[in-house]
Chains A and B, each alone.
Chain A
C-alpha cells in the first residue's frame, strides 16, 4: 500500500520513493529510516529505537551514524521534514 505524506510517496512493495512527483534514490538504511518514520507519521521515534532498527544489537554503530542518515534524508527532501526532539528522538509531523 502506497504511503503518501507531505509530498513524499513511498511504495513498500517496490521500495521506490518519489518527492513532489520526482523519483528519489535512497540507500537501504535511508529507506528503512524513512519507512519507519512514516508509518505512521506523528509518532516520536527514540534514538535507541531507530539505531536498533538499522543496526540491530550486534552491529557496532558509530555514535553519530544515525544523525548522518537523518541529515541525508533532510537534504533529499526538505530540511523541516524530520523534526528533532532534543533528548527524546525524531518524528515526521502529522500535519504539515
Chain B
C-alpha cells in the first residue's frame, strides 16, 4: 500500500538533495575562482614589494651586504609559534640577469631550468611539487623576481571551505527532512481523522458522516459517502416497509381462503358446496393477482435497469393490450371502446411498461364500472405529450381520497383490489418521464390519464 506521506517526503527530499547539489557545485566553482583571484593578486603584490626593496639605490658593496642580510634573515625565517603553517608554503627568489640567485627563501624550490617567462605560471619543481608563481622582470635593475606558492595550499583551502559548508548542509537536510515528515503528518491529520471516524463507526450504521472541521478537499468525499449512505438507507427502508406491507396484505386473503375452505368442509348441500368452491376459486384468483402485482412492483421499484426504450407506435401497443383484455371485459358484461386522434403515435418508450400500466388502469376501471358499463380508452396528443386516458362510469373519487390513491395497498373500498394498481402506474409514469392524473368526469365516472413524452 502506498502512503501519501512517504510519497510526498520522498519527492521533497529528492528535490532538496538535487537543489543542494547544484548549489554546492556552483559554490565550489565560485570559491575556486575567487580564491585564485585573491591569491594571484597577493603574489603579484609580494613581487612588487620585493622589487621595491631590491632596487633601493645603494653603493655597489652595500647591495651585496643587503642580499647577504636578506638571505640570512630569510634562512632563519621559519614558522614559529606566532606564525602560520601556510608561511612555509610561500617562497620567493631573485635572480640577476646572468641567472645567479641573489636572494631566496629557505622554502624556495630548485628548478632544472629557472623559469623566465614573466607573469603568472603553473610550474613543477625538481621534487614534483606544484607551484603557482608570478615572475616580475626588472630590466632596469637587472632583476628577475619569482614569487611562488605551493599549489596544495589553495587545494587545501578549497577543501576546507567545501567541508565546512557540506556538513552543515547534510545535518540541516536531515533535520529538515524530519520536520517535513512531521509537517506532512500534521497536514494529513484530517484524512487520518476521517479514517479513524470511519473505523470507529458501527459497521451497520447508516448515519451521515459529520466531520469537523472538514477540509475542503474532503468535502466531495464526505458528500459522496453521505449520498451513498442515504441511498442505502432509503433502499433498506423501502424494502423493509415493502416486506412488512406485503406480508400484512397477504394475511387477509389467506384468512378469507381459510374461511371458505372451512365452509366447504361443513357444507351440507351440493348447492352450498358449489358456492363455497366458487368463493374459494375467487379468493385464490385474488391472491394470485396480489402476488403478481407485488412481483411487478418488485421489478419496477429498484430502477436498477434503464427502461427498455424502443421506437414504437403507441396506438398499436395499446390496441394489442386491448385485444388481450377484451374477452375478460366482455365476460364481466362491460363494453370497451378505443378512440385515437391520429393514425399513429410514434414514441420512444417501453412497450412492456405501457402494457402493465394500461392493464392496471383497465382493471381499476372494470372494478368500479356498473353492470353493462362502458370503458372508454382514448389516445390523444397535446403539449408534447401523448395522453392515454381510461374512463369508467363508476362513482369517481372523493377529493379526500385523492392524496392516498397512489399509496401502496390503499384501495378505495374495492374488495377485489390489492391497492397496488395505481402505485404501479405511478411508478411507471415517473420512469417513462411522464405522469398520471386522475379526474372525475362531468358526466360521472373517473378518468385516469397516463401522459408520456411524445416523439
* Interface pair B337/A87, CB less than 8 Å apart: yes
User: B338 and A88: CB pair below 8 A?
Assistant: yes
Q: How far is the CB of A86 from chain B (nearest CB, A)?
A: 4
A46 to chain B, nearest CB (A): 6
Is the C-beta of A68 less than 8 angstroms from some C-beta in chain B? no
Contact between A91 and B326 (Cβ–Cβ < 8 Å)?
yes
Cβ–Cβ < 8 Å partners of A94 in chain B: 327
Contact B327 A86 (CB under 8 A): no
Expressed in whole angstroms, the minimum distance between the Cβ of A3 and any Cβ of chain B is: 18
* Interfacial residues, chain B to chain A (CB-CB below 8 A): 319, 322-323, 326-327, 330, 336-340, 377
Q: Does A36 contact B (CB under 8 A)?
A: no
In contact, B337 and A85 (Cβ under 8 angstroms):
yes
Q: A44-B323, A46-B319, A46-B323 are in contact. Are A87 and B330 (CB under 8 A)?
A: no
Q: Are B338 and A85 in contact (CB under 8 A)?
A: yes
Q: Return 22 A-B CB contacts under 8 Å, by A number.
A: A43-B323, A43-B327, A44-B323, A44-B326, A44-B327, A46-B319, A83-B330, A85-B322, A85-B326, A85-B336, A86-B338, A87-B319, A87-B337, A87-B338, A87-B339, A88-B322, A88-B336, A89-B319, A89-B323, A91-B327, A91-B330, A94-B327
Cα distance A94–B327 when bound, in Å?
9
Residue of A nearest to B379 (CB): A87
Q: How many cross-chain pairs have Cβ atoms below 8 Å apart between A and B?
A: 39
Most buried by B among A42, A43, A85, A94: A85
Name the B residues within 8 Å of A42 (CB-CB). Answer: 327
Q: Which residues of B contact A88 (CB under 8 A)?
A: 319, 322-323, 326, 336, 338
Residues of A within 8 A of B338 (CB): 85-88
Cα A89 to Cα B340 with chains together (Å): 13
Beyond A46-B323, A91-B330, A94-B327, list 9 extra A-B contacts (CB 8 Å).
A43-B323, A44-B326, A46-B319, A86-B336, A87-B319, A87-B322, A88-B319, A88-B323, A91-B327
A93 within 8 A of B: yes
CB distance from B276 to the nearest CB of A (A): 24
Report the minimal beta-carbon distance from B279 to chain A, rounded to whole angstroms: 22
- In chain B, what residue has the closest Cβ to A47? B319
Which single residue of chain B is at the shortest CB-CB distance from A94? B327
5 nearest A-B pairs in the assembled complex, by CB-CB distance = A87-B338, A86-B337, A44-B323, A44-B326, A88-B322
Q: Is the CB of A86 within 8 A of B339?
A: yes
Return the chain B residue nearest A41 by Cβ.
Answer: B327
Residue of A nearest to B340 (CB): A87
Within 8 A of B (CB), among A25-44: 42-44
Chain A positions within 8 Å of B326 at CB level? 44, 85, 88, 91
What are the residues of chain B within 8 A of A83 when measuring CB–CB? 330
Q: Which residue of A lies closest to B322 (CB)?
A: A88
Instruction: Give chain A residues whose Cβ lies under 8 Å from the Cβ of B327.
Output: 42-44, 91, 94
CB distance from A52 to the nearest CB of B (A): 13
- Bound complex: CA A88 to CA B362 (Å): 15
